[in-house]
Structure 1
C-alpha cells in the first residue's frame, strides 16, 4: 500500500464565497443541471449536507462509473473549507484504492476572484501503477471540468449564488 498526494490550484474571477456556495454547498443541485452528460443525480442519502452527510453521485452511462458515495468530513462556509472522503466508488474495494480523501480551500485573489486549492490523498493498494496513475489523471481532468463548468455558469448567471 502506498500514499499519493495530489495538489491542484485553480483560479477564476468569481468571488470566493459565491464560488464556494455553488461548487461545494449546492453541488448536488448545480452539477446535474450544468453537467447533464456526466451526472444523472446527486442526492443526500444521510444528512443534509453537513459533516457526516453521505452524498450519492449517480453518473450517466458511458462515464466510466455508475455511482460514487462521498462522506462530508467538514463543511465550513465561514472559512470556505470543504473536506470529503470517497467511501464507495469505481476502483475502490478490491481494486486500486483503499481510500481517497479530499481537502478543498477557497481563498480570495488580489483581483477579487478566487483561488481553489485542492489536495487529494490516495491510499493505494496493489502495485498496478499504470491503472492508478490513469485513474488519478482522469479524476484531475474531471475536477477541472467541473470547475470550468461552474465558473462558466456563474459568469453567465451573475445573480446566481449571491
Structure 2
C-alpha cells in the first residue's frame, strides 16, 4: 500500500479558537446549516467527540452519498485535529483511507493559518488519480471559505 502526502495552507482573518470550534467541535451542527446544498446531515455514530469518535456525513446531492470519519486526535488548546476518512464512495477503488492532520496557528493580525497534511493511503498497487485528489482539496477549501465568511458576518458566534 503506497501513501501519497499533500500539504496545504489557507490563511483567514478568523482567530484559531473560533475557526477550530466551527471546523471541528460544532461542525455537526454548523455545516448542514451553512451548506445544505452539499451536506444533508452529520450523524455521530460512536464516541463523545474526542479520539475514537466516528461520524457519518450524508451528502445532499452530487456523485457521493456519504463518508465516515474517525477522529484520531483532538487537541483543543493547540488547535490540532487528526482524523481519518475510513468509509464512503469518495474513496473509490484506489484508496484504503485518507488521514488529515489539521493545525490552526495564529497570524500576526489575529487571524489564523490552517495547515493541513493529508495522507492518501492507496490500496495495493493502485495509483492515485490526481484529478480526484484535486477535487477533494478544492472542496475542503470551499468549506473553509464558507466557514470564514459565516464567522466574519457573525462575530458573536464561537466568540
CA deviation after TM superposition for structure 1 residue 149, in Å: 0.2
Counterpart of 1:82 in structure 2 is 81
State the TM-score, normalizing by the size of structure 1: 0.93
Counterpart of 1:114 in structure 2 is 112
CA deviation after TM superposition for structure 1 residue 91, in Å: 4.2
CA deviation after TM superposition for structure 1 residue 48, in Å: 2.1
What runs of 5+ residues in structure 2 fail to find an aligned partner?
none
Q: Is the 8 A contact 2:86 2:96 kept in 1?
A: no
What runs of 5+ residues in structure 1 fail to find an aligned partner?
none
CA deviation after TM superposition for structure 1 residue 99, in Å: 1.8
Tell me, in whole angstroms, the C-alpha distance in 2 between the residues paired with 1:90 and 1:33.
23
Q: Is the 8 A contact 2:2 2:121 kept in 1?
A: yes
Tell me, in whole angstroms, the C-alpha distance in 1 between the residues paired with 2:79 and 2:90.
29
CA deviation after TM superposition for structure 1 residue 115, in Å: 0.5
Q: What per-residue deviation string (whole Å, max 9, x for no partner) do you get for residues 102-139 of structure 1? A: 0000000011100100000001134454xx21211111
Q: What per-residue deviation string (whole Å, max 9, x for no partner) do you get for residues 3-55 of structure 1? A: 11011100001111111111111111111000110000011011121110001
- Aligned length in residues: 158
Tell me, in whole angstroms, the C-alpha distance in 2 between the residues paired with 1:29 and 1:6.
28
Q: Write the mapping of 1:115-134 to structure 2, written as runs, cut at 5 A.
A: 115-125=113-123, 126-129=125-128, 132-134=129-131
RMSD (Å) for aligned C-alpha atoms: 1.3
Counterpart of 2:153 in structure 1 is 156
